[in-house]
């Protein structure tokens, strides 16, 4: 059950992250936000890729630990962008 839940939920979250990445368009942002929006788009894409890893290998503890670290890093980066002036 644990693997099933992890696989399905990771796939749903990866899908949400991919949709978010597609909906962020740096070209539509005001010039002063263009760089931040580009970085946010990249973060969403990386989150989607990391979550797809859990979907494909839910029983690989090394990959799971790596993914947790990667998602933590991405969350911190997003936080920094959101709080930047």
Partner 1 sequence: VSKALGALLGVLTAIGGFIEIGDLVFLGQAGAQFGYALLWAIPLGILGIGVFAEMSGRVAATSGRPVFDLVRERLGFGVGLITLIAGQAMTLLTLAAEIGGVAIVLQLLFDLPNQLLILGAGVAFLVLIWVLPFEWIERVFSLPGLCLLVFVVAAIDLDPDWTAVGNGFVPNWDAGDPMLYAYYFVGIVAATFMPYEIYFYSSGGVEEGWSRPHLRLNRLTVVFGWGLGAVLATAILITAAQVFEPRGIEPELLGTVALGTQIPLGEAGLLLVLIGMLFAIGGATAETALSGAYNIAQFLGWEWGKYKRPSGAPRFTFAWMAMLAAGTLIILTGLDPVQLTEFAVVLGVVAVPFSYLPVLLAAGDPTYMGDQTNGQLQNTLGWFYFAFISLVAVAAIPLLIVTNMGQG
Residue 21 token pair:
């990445």
Q: Which is nearer to partner 1, 31 or 60 (CB)?
A: 60
Q: Which is nearer to partner 1, 11 or 49 (CB)?
A: 11
Q: Which of residues 46-65 bind partner 1 (CB under 8 A)?
A: none
Q: Which of residues 6-25 bind partner 1 (CB under 8 A)?
A: 7-9, 12-13, 16
CA pseudo-torsion sign 15, 22, 48, 77 = negative
3-class secondary structure per residue, 36-65 = HHHHHHHHHHHHHHHHHHHHHCCCCHHHHH
CA distance 59 to 46: 21
CB of 46 to partner 1, least distance (A): 17
Q: Which is nearer to partner 1, 31 or 61 (CB)?
A: 61
Q: Is 82 strand, coil or helix?
A: helix
Residues that bind partner 1 (CB under 8 A): 1-5, 7-9, 12-13, 16, 75, 79
């Amino acid at each position: 059950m644990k693997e099933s839940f992890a696989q399905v939920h990771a796939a749903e979250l990866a899908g949400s992250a991919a949709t978010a990445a597609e909906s962020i368009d740096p070209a539509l942002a005001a010039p002063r936000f263009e760089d931040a929006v580009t970085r946010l788009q990249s973060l969403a894409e990386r989150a989607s890729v990391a979550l797809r890893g859990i979907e494909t290998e839910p029983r690989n503890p090394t990959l799971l630990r790596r993914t947790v670290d990667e998602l933590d890093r991405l969350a911190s980066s997003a936080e920094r962008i959101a709080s930047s002036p």
